[in-house]
Chain A
């Protein structure tokens, strides 16, 4: 598989990959398969009814990782893909997905990925997703990722999503259903600037006894960008749910948070925390007394916040 320099750079941004990765991978470039590798425990099969792939992880697979990056260089490409992950029982795996767009044209480039995770009993999954866009044209970069999670009994999934600049419009939908004893941790980091718009919608159904979730969102909105955070955690059993939305707002940006928690069981314990505000004045002042300019102090605070 031959990759050009731009493709290599996008891969580095979204998957921390410097070259073709070790282990299982499936690289999609401009709507086409650009490389695939399967291992003894991880199979990747192209879907026949719609664009996308099935990733099948054998029960008992431990300490393996897979990379599923998508890169788009063609201005105006509209890409829709379905990736289904079937994780067997007793697995412990890391999945790195991401989408990088380099749009140097004037048309809208768009990637809508629907990722479904069916996590077997007592399996642990770490899912890392990065979104990155760049371009020197006036074409807009659009990404609308949908994530569907079904966690089996005792299953654990940690999902980290990062979107720093470059994406003009994004609507992220995440829905999850948890069985007995399952746990879902979501960590979201977003920074928008210019006139970007980012919306995230989380719906978590805590169906199982002793299931739990923690949804943590940290975001920074600068310039004229807009963000909207919606979450709904439903406690349908004895369970624990916590969500936390923490946003820094700068310039003329706008941030909304609509957190919802619904208890359908007296044994459900649900908490939501939300805070939106500008950078605290005493934080700026402290860093300025250490010799930073106001601008440098701002950068430090924002970088730390999103780290």
Chain B
């Protein structure tokens, strides 16, 4: 179980201090939790704070009751947190196989690496020896990023907009990948998404707007409100 308690995050910019997250408290214990909300509302920042990439200005993060607020990225990775980036990183010279091996934390055979790639719909033989560099398309990189998450197999898996750039065929499979992931790992999957189809599969939906949690609930509670998009927007307008 992952618990965020009163998380705030401020960033210094040229025009002063920016409050990006304000007093965010959240428990993630369900099979699949989805965070949604407008662009710039602080979703990726929250994910980075969980992974240890950003340090919160205030607040505490507990993983299975242990305070991990001050642990490094590496230590959190070892404790069981994985994070698929919104924008996957490119590497010159590091192959898809290398990356999946590193993610798995053990010496992988090529056929094991290929299995992970096949699960995300990539024809493994074509990809396993390719470099994770600019020659891969955006959608391919996103899928490789997801394959590394499968190889990690940790109790908390965070996906930042996994559907971005993924075509329709893959989109159906993406949902299956999450279901299968849960079936084998039994961990919690935290997904940042704007996609109705992904929201529909959530056990819990969190709506973030302007750095604050606006609503938390199951899909039956949240979806109708979201569909009536003016709901969030009008509240945003209220703030201004």
Show the binding face of A for B, using Cβ within 8 Å. 218, 246, 280, 282-283, 285-294, 300-301, 303-307
Contact = CB atoms under 8 A, between A and B. Distances in A.
Nearest to A301: B91
A294 B72 CA distance: 10
A289 B77 contact: yes
Nearest to A280: B89
A288 B92 CA distance: 17
Nearest to B48: A285
Given A304-B131, A307-B93, 10 more contacts: A282-B85, A283-B89, A287-B102, A288-B74, A289-B51, A289-B53, A289-B83, A290-B77, A291-B74, A305-B92
B73 A288 contact: yes
Given A301-B94, A305-B92, A307-B93, A289 B102 contact: no
A285 B73 CA distance: 8
Interface string B67-86: 00000111001100111010
A288 B91 CA distance: 14
B188 interface: no
Nearest to B145: A286
B103 A290 contact: yes
B196 to A, nearest CB: 28
Nearest to B158: A289
10 smallest beta-carbon distances between A and B, as pairs: A304-B93, A304-B94, A288-B73, A291-B77, A286-B89, A307-B93, A290-B103, A305-B93, A282-B89, A289-B83
Contacts, number: 61
Interface in B112-170: 131, 148, 152
A292 B81 CA distance: 13
A290 B51 contact: no
Given A290-B148, A292-B102, A300 B94 contact: yes
A218 B92 CA distance: 10
B224 interface: no
Nearest to B90: A283
Contact of A304 (B72, B77, B92, B152): B92
Contacts of A288: 72-74, 77
A291 B105 contact: yes
Interface string B46-63: 000001010000000000
B98 interface: yes
Contacts of B53: 285, 289
